[in-house]
Each structure stands twice: as structure tokens, then as C-alpha cells.
């Protein structure tokens, strides 16, 4: 028998960072490498970009449909992010996954992250930081999926978002994807060892319990 039993529940991992910081690439790698991680697909009222498909990158819905879902309390969190567009995390599935021991990633903005902080106290908050604002601008421009005006709007939003990193538990600078993924994996591993994830300890009274159930008698004789 082990000395401690840790909670069997999955970890809710909130990943934020400005557009172009590389959250999507990092999360994609995490999913490929770890079969115990599931990523929630958000719902949005923005238009699909490039090759994006409904149900893959996002569920694309109308404003009316989104607002109907808000009324029916179907989101864990939601926010208006870019150009008045809604983005939200559908509630269904998340608790089932967590309760069956699967870690869940939410790739959401700072407003959503703050809402989750109020609701789920043991969630993990990771901020992905670009190496520099110049590199961020280049990444946004090179994506080539949006107009110059939209790129500029995202870049301005990025300035505001970067100031919020202190509200997160960890910050990972994405200068090299491989290294950034390793850091996120290390953070998740460390979180699983946190003392507050311990559910039960079988070592209350060393005089009695260790002797009876945990170790061979000759270890303490």
C-alpha cells in the first residue's frame, strides 16, 4: 500500500496568451504527446479563418444562437474578445472528463481565465509569452489569414493582455516550441505532486500504523 493517495481527478489547465504567442501550437503538441489530456473546443461568433472547420478549431455559431446558450447557462465561461465577437467554453463534457481523471485544457483569453479563477479554485493557470513584441507582430503578419487592420487590432490587444500575466500561476516564454512544450509538461507534472492534491495519508500514527500496515517489522526493529 502507498503512504499517500492523491486525488484521482483530472487537472483543469487554463492556457492564455496573446494571439500569435503560440498557444495553439504548444497545446497541439501536448495533445499529441499525452493521451490523458483533452482539449475543450470553444464556441465563437467570429467567422472561420483560413482552413478552419466547424467542430475542429471552434464551433462557429450565430450571435443569436450564442446568446440563447448564455440564457440557458450552457457556458462555463464566455467573453467578448475581438471586434465584439463572443467566445465561450461549453460546459458539457468538462466535468465528466475531469471526474474520470483526464486533464482538460482550456485555451481562452484573460477575461475567461479570471472567470474560471472565481469558479474552480484548483485550476492551473499558464500564460504563454512571446519572446518579443517584434516577433509577435511578425508571427501575426506572417499567418496571412487576416487583413492588415485585424492584425493591428490583435497586436494592440496583445499589449494589454501581456500586462495581465501576473494573474497566472506560471509564465512560459515561447521562443522555441520544443522547449516551451517541455516546460508546460514539467509544470503539469509538478502540479500533480502538490500537497493539496493529497486526498488521504496512511501514516497518522507512526507507532501503530507504520508498524501494522506499511513496512516490514524488521525495518523498525
- What is the b/e burial string over 130-147, where b = at least 16 CB atoms within 10 angstroms of the residue's CB? beeeeebbebbeeeeebe
| Residue 87 binds ligand 5GP, judged by CB under 6 A | yes
Please identify, using beta-carbon distances, which residue of 98 and 108 lies nearer to ligand 5GP: 108
The residue with its CB nearest to ligand 5GP is 112
CB of 145 to ligand 5GP, least distance (A): 9
Q: Number of residues in contact with ligand 5GP, rule: CB under 6 A?
A: 16
Q: Which of 74, 111, 117, 141 binds ligand 5GP (CB under 6 A)?
A: 111
CB of 87 to ligand 5GP, least distance (A): 4
Q: Which of 13, 26, 79, 124 binds ligand 5GP (CB under 6 A)?
A: 79
Q: Is 170 left (phi over 0), alpha (psi -120 to 50) or beta?
A: beta
Binding-site string for ligand 5GP from residue 112 to residue 131, where x marks contact by CB under 6 A and - marks none: x-------------------
**Which of these segments, 1-9, 30-38, 106-114, 180-188, binds ligand 5GP (CB under 6 A)?**
106-114
| Residue 172 binds ligand 5GP, judged by CB under 6 A | no
Please identify, using beta-carbon distances, which residue of 19 and 174 lies nearer to ligand 5GP: 19
| Residue 88 binds ligand 5GP, judged by CB under 6 A | yes
Residue with C-alpha cell 481562452? 108
Q: Which of 89, 105, 125, 151 binds ligand 5GP (CB under 6 A)?
A: 89
**Which of these segments, 82-90, 125-133, 173-181, 187-195, binds ligand 5GP (CB under 6 A)?**
82-90
CB of 91 to ligand 5GP, least distance (A): 11
**Which of these segments, 80-88, 93-101, 162-170, 208-216, binds ligand 5GP (CB under 6 A)?**
80-88
Q: Are strands 12-16 and 124-129 parallel, antiparallel or unpaired?
A: parallel
> What is the Cα–Cα distance from 69 to 67, expressed in whole angstroms?
5
Amino acid at each position: 500500500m502507498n503512504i499517500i493517495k492523491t486525488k484521482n481527478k483530472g487537472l483543469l489547465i487554463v492556457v492564455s496568451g496573446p494571439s500569435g504567442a503560440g498557444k495553439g501550437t504548444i497545446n497541439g503538441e501536448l495533445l499529441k504527446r499525452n493521451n490523458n489530456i483533452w482539449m475543450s473546443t470553444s464556441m465563437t461568433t467570429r467567422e472561420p479563418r483560413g482552413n478552419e472547420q466547424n467542430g475542429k478549431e471552434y464551433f462557429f455559431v450565430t450571435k443569436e444562437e450564442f446568446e440563447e446558450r448564455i440564457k440557458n447557462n450552457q457556458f462555463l465561461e464566455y467573453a467578448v474578445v475581438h471586434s465584439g465577437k463572443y467566445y465561450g467554453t461549453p460546459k458539457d463534457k468538462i466535468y465528466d472528463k475531469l471526474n474520470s481523471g483526464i486533464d482538460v485544457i482550456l485555451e481562452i483569453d484573460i477575461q475567461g481565465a479570471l472567470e474560471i479563477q472565481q469558479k474552480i479554485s484548483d485550476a492551473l493557470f499558464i500564460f504563454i509569452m512571446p519572446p518579443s513584441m517584434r516577433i509577435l507582430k511578425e508571427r501575426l503578419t506572417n499567418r496571412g489569414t487576416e487583413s492588415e487592420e485585424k492584425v493591428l487590432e490583435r497586436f494592440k490587444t496583445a499589449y494589454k493582455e501581456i500586462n495581465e500575466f501576473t494573474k497566472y500561476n506560471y509564465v512560459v516564454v515561447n521562443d522555441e516550441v520544443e522547449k516551451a512544450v517541455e516546460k508546460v509538461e514539467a509544470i503539469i507534472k509538478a502540479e500533480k505532486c502538490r500537497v493539496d492534491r493529497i486526498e488521504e495519508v496512511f501514516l497518522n500514527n507512526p507507532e501503530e500504523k507504520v508498524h501494522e500496515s506499511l513496512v516490514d517489522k524488521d525495518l523498525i526493529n
